[in-house]
Structures are given as C-alpha cells and as structure tokens.
C-alpha cells in the first residue's frame, strides 16, 4: 500500500515538474499590449470563406470546470477557412471557447469582461492561429429593454440555450455573427496556447472588438461552469508585436 502511495506521489511530482516546464517557455500567452511599443505593418485584408456567413450547425459543450466549447458539425467545417491578413496559408476553423470574468490579454493593463478564442489550424503545416475577440458588460439586464439586442447577439442566444448536456444549435447568420469587430484593425504576435499544454508557436490575432454581454449571462457561466478560467499575462521577452493600423 505504501509503495502504491509513493508511486502516486512520484507521478504527481513529475506531472507538476512537466507542467512548470511547459508554462515557463519564453514565448507564452497571453500578454499585456502597449500600442506605443508595437510596429505598424501593412497587411492585406483577411479572406473569410462564404461558410462564415451561411447558416451553420454548431455543437455546444459545457466543459465543467473549464469553458464552453463550440465546434462546427462535420459537414459544415470544410467551408470555414481564413487566409490573408497576417496569415501565411489557409487556416480552417476548429472551435471557439470563452475565458472570463476578465480577458486574458490586456491593453496597457486594461482588461475586458471576457475573451473568445477562435482556434484555426493550417491543415498542411499543422500551424495554429487564434483570433481573439473581446467582451464588455452591456448596460441592461432587462429582457424587455434588450429584446432587439438579443436578436442580433448570437453569443447570448447560445448562452441562453446551453445546458449541462451537449446540444446542437443552428446559427442562421453563420460564424461571422460571433466575430463582431473591425476586421482591418488587429494586433499580431507569436505566442502559445493559454491552457495546458501551453504549446508555443501559435499565431495570435487580437481583433478590435467590444461585444456586448449582459451580467445575467456572465453569472450563468460562472455558476454552471467555473467562476474564473483566465490565465494571467506572461512576459513578452523581446517579442515583436505588430499592429495593422497606423494610429
């Protein structure tokens, strides 16, 4: 019995050491952005495939203690590709998930209420690109005052329908309706995943965005999934941070 306990403790120690090594890489994410220290770079426009604007069925999974995971059903995923911008090659959408009750990335120390990560993969090179979008609390929790708001806020529609079971939801406006922001204004840098195994070499694209989210929905995911799931900012360690806009 004592031998088994000793082996278990040893495995735990090895896991913690490995986790520390993975978390202590030089090019980790998220980071705190100081725009005065970024480099302006002229990029072409991003090219979103037609599938981003067409009705699509998504599987929504509550990952208890982790996040909400939204993935396209198999027959829809082939048409969801992005190229251009700061990307090299074509990247296919894999999933989107949320971090709360503050954004992982900061801007001069400022945080948002939540952050969505749209994970894409280059199927030829196996590179990963993550588009980050940011949320702020809207002014009203009243259903009557926000009826029009709800019709166009597919994020809140998703959060309103999700349960402890995996469900399928059709988004009539397509994936692009979850990616509200200025597609010509973004920050680009190389970092890592913000969850284990914290793999580096990830191409980050932080979009200029400010999506509304009412407190009632933030409360719902904090109660049903986890109170907090954001990672603290990591050292930049001399990395080049680029921006697509002049001022």
Tell me the whole-structure pTM to 2 decimals. Answer: 0.86
152 is a domain residue = yes
11 is a domain residue = no
- DSSP run (H or E) holding 223: helix 215-224
167 is a domain residue = yes
The string of pLDDT tens digits covering residues 96-154 is 999 999 999 999 999 999 999 999 999 999 999 999 999 999 876 554 444 444 455 89
156 is a domain residue = yes
Q: How far apart are CA 216 and CA 33, in angstroms?
A: 29
Please state the domain count of the chain.
1
Q: How far apart are CA 166 and CA 157, in angstroms?
A: 15
18 is a domain residue = no
Domain of 205: which CATH number? 3.10.200.10
Nearest Cα to Cα of residue 97 among 47, 141, 49, 59:
59
Domain range enclosing 36? 27-243
Q: What would you report as the CA-atom Rg of the chain, rounded to the nearest whole angstrom?
A: 19
224 is a domain residue = yes
The string of pLDDT tens digits covering residues 60-106 is 999 999 999 999 997 655 589 999 999 999 999 999 999 999 999 99
């Amino acid at each position: 019995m004592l031998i088994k306990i000793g082996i278990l403790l040893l495995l735990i120690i090895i896991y913690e050491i490995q986790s520390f090594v993975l978390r202590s890489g030089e090019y980790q994410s998220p980071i705190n952005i100081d725009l005065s220290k970024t480099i302006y770079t002229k990029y072409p426009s991003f090219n979103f495939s037609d599938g981003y604007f067409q009705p699509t069925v998504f599987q929504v999974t509550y990952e208890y203690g982790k996040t909400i995971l939204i993935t396209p059903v198999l027959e829809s995923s082939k048409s969801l590709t992005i190229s251009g911008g700061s990307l090299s090659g074509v990247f296919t959408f894999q999933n989107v998930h949320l971090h709360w009750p503050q954004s992982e990335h900061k801007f001069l120390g400022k945080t948002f209420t939540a952050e969505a990560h749209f994970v894409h993969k280059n199927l030829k090179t196996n590179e990963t690109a993550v588009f980050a979008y940011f949320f702020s609390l809207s002014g009203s929790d009243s259903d009557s005052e926000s009826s029009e708001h709800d019709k166009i806020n597919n994020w809140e529609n998703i959060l309103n329908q999700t349960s402890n079971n995996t469900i399928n939801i059709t988004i009539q406006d397509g994936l692009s309706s979850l990616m509200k922001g200025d597609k010509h204004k973004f920050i680009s840098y190389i970092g890592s995943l913000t969850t284990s195994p914290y793999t580096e070499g990830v191409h980050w694209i932080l979009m200029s965005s400010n999506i509304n989210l009412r407190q009632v929905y933030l409360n719902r995911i904090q109660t049903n999934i986890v109170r907090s799931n954001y990672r603290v900012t990591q050292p930049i360690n001399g990395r080049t941070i680029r921006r697509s806009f002049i001022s």
